[in-house]
């Protein structure tokens, strides 16, 4: 089993390497985005501010940070691992029931008391989405536990696709249950990222572990990031129709597809423009980590002890800033330049090297099929694919996944040697006589 797993991993695609992914995908996309942002911001009919804050200096800073990430990843992508960490099946039970319980606590009252609101949301009725958010607001700790479903998908993928384990059928049904819960959350609560968070890491494990059977499948595996972004507008449109089009924008745009093209582009353009506005008009670096340590600010008790006025802890400060300098509706910030706002350029470069190094080590673990870090690489892969739009790895959503994996590794992890010894055989004897060879061959048939 181990040999077959390692043999499959020899064909791992270049785009799974964090250094290659940064060089061939993230950096060109960031530069292209910086180039088109001025035109997008100035012509968008829905922005209250058409000011462009992106400068050549910002682009150089962003490129230098991405180069730092690439260097960190390149230096660690061949990190050696000598043992294999296998997580027992009971971890899947724990993650599934924790996820299910969190969803029931969060959405159970809504399902029981307001089923009509859910049906209205599914039928894209005007204003239904806002009623759902009022009836089922985020619950600290409970909302976090729903992210354990992503940890389930990753561990499931490692067991089934990479290690080739035969697991009971109930775990396959549990996976489909988690995907169904993510779809429900995306449709009812208008969080389409809930589906992407499960599907992309799971597919990444599958693509790195299974050899394609046809040329067209091979091309799909090879160019997955490009296909992902090519299909993103369609996926975006499906969920944006009941979320924004019906509720507001149907009265502004001449047709739905014009709205989708404009809004999809704005999510990325305003993301880089917003952080550049912060760098220009808000004192920085703050050395508070309000963006890169966003997950820590959300922690119970600990978050209360951190410095005040974090931009992402209490949205009022940041939304007030956007009301003056940009547009509050588009409140994302890229996961690249936020490092400079928190820590400055030089420290930011150092931190991005560490970011890349962790991604590189986890990639090496994934490629070899050894070590514990292979379980976290799908999270880092998704964070790099989203880096131009949001700082996913800094957010509580990603950290909750990593915590779920860590708990399972500590409680249900089992270390195995990289090359398990074969059972001892009897002392080798001389060559078998011809008749014995014939009888042995016949018995095998």
C-alpha Rg value of the chain to the nearest Å = 25
Query: How far apart are the C-alpha atoms of 192 and 129, rounded to whole Å?
Result: 13
Distance of CA 22 to the CA centre of its chain: 15
pLDDT tens per residue, range 303-328: 677 766 555 545 567 888 888 888 88
Mean pLDDT of 431-444: 40
pLDDT-derived band at 10 (thresholds 50, 70, 90) equals: very low
CA atoms within 13 A on the CB side of 7: 5
Query: How far apart are the C-alpha atoms of 34 and 45, rounded to whole Å?
Result: 20
Residue 201 has pLDDT above 80, yes or no: yes
Kind and range of the H or E element at 171?
helix 169-188
Residue 135 has pLDDT above 80, yes or no: no
Torsion of the alpha carbons at 367, 370, 372 and 376, rounded to the nearest 10: 10
Structure tokens at 254: 């001449």
Record the pTM.
0.86
Kind and range of the H or E element at 413?
strand 413-417
Query: How far apart are the C-alpha atoms of 399 and 151, rounded to whole Å?
Result: 11
Helices (H), 248-314: 256-281, 294-297, 302-305
pLDDT tens per residue, range 218-264: 666 666 666 777 777 788 888 787 777 777 788 888 888 888 888 88
User: Would you say 380 and 358 are in contact if contact means Cβ atoms under 8 Å apart?
Assistant: yes
Range with lowest mean pLDDT among 94-108, 127-141, 306-320? 306-320
Q: Which has the higher per-residue pLDDT, 329 or 160?
A: 160
Query: How far apart are the C-alpha atoms of 20 and 100, rounded to whole Å?
Result: 37
pLDDT at 443: 33
Query: How far apart are the C-alpha atoms of 19 and 30, rounded to whole Å?
Result: 15
Backbone conformation region of residue 369, classed left if phi is above 0, alpha if psi is from -120 to 50, else beta? left
What number of other Cβ atoms are within 10 A of residue 231's Cβ?
Answer: 10
Residue 430 has pLDDT above 60, yes or no: no
Residue among 262, 333, 237, 341 nearest 41 (CA): 262
User: Would you say 194 and 182 are in contact if contact means Cβ atoms under 8 Å apart?
Assistant: yes
User: Would you say 405 and 155 are in contact if contact means Cβ atoms under 8 Å apart?
Assistant: yes
User: Could you give the angle at the alpha carbon of 196 between the alpha carbons of 194 and 200, nearest 5°?
Assistant: 140
Q: Which has the higher per-residue pLDDT, 329 or 372?
A: 372
**Coil vs helix vs strand at 193:** helix
- For the chain, give the mean pLDDT: 83
- 179 CB-near residues (< 8 Å, 6+ apart): 195, 198, 199
Residue among 157, 105, 198 nearest 401 (CA): 198
- Phi, psi (rounded to 5 degrees) for 414: -135, 125
pLDDT at 220: 62
């Amino acid at each position: 089993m181990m040999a077959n797993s390692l043999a499959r991993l020899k064909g791992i695609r270049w785009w799974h390497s964090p250094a290659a992914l940064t060089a061939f995908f993230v950096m060109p996309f960031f530069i292209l985005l910086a180039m088109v942002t001025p035109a997008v911001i100035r012509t968008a009919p829905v922005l209250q501010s058409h000011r462009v804050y992106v400068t050549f200096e910002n682009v150089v800073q962003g490129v230098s940070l991405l180069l730092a990430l690439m260097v960190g990843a390149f230096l660690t992508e061949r990190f050696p691992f000598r043992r294999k960490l296998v997580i027992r099946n009971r971890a899947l039970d724990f993650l599934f029931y924790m996820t299910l319980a969190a969803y029931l606590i969060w959405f159970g009252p809504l399902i029981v008391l307001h089923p009509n609101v859910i049906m209205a949301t599914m039928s894209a009725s005007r204003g239904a989405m806002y009623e759902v958010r009022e009836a089922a607001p985020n619950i600290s700790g409970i909302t976090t536990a729903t992210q354990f479903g992503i940890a389930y998908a990753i561990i499931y993928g490692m067991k089934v696709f990479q290690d080739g384990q035969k697991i009971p059928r109930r775990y396959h049904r549990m996976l489909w249950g988690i995907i169904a819960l993510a779809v429900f959350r995306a449709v009812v609560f208008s969080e389409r990222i809930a589906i992407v968070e499960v599907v992309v890491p799971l597919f990444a494990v599958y693509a790195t572990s299974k050899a394609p059977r046809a040329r067209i499948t091979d091309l799909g595996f090879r160019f997955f990031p490009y296909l992902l972004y090519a299909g993103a507008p369609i996926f975006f449109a499906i969920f944006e129709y009941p979320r924004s089009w019906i509720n507001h924008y149907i009265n502004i745009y001449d047709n739905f597809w014009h709205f989708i093209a404009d809004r999809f582009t704005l999510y990325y353009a305003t993301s880089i423009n917003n952080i550049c506005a912060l760098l220009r008009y808000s004192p920085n670096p703050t050395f508070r980590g309000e963006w890169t340590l966003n997950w820590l600010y959300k922690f119970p008790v600990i978050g209360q002890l951190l410095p005040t006025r974090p931009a992402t802890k209490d949205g009022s400060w940041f939304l007030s800033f956007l009301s003056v300098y940009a547009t509050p509706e588009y409140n994302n910030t890229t996961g690249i330049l936020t490092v400079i706002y928190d820590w400055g350029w030089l420290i930011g470069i150092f931190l991005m090297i560490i970011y890349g190094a962790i991604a590189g080590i986890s990639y090496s673990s994934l490629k070899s099929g050894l070590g514990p870090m292979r379980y976290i690489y799908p999270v880092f892969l998704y964070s790099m694919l989203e880096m131009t739009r949001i700082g996913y790895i800094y957010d509580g959503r990603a950290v909750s996944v990593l915590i779920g994996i860590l708990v399972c590794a500590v409680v249900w992890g089992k270390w195995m040697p990289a090359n398990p010894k074969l059972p001892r055989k009897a002392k080798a004897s001389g060559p078998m006589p011809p008749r014995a060879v014939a009888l042995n061959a016949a018995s095998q048939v």
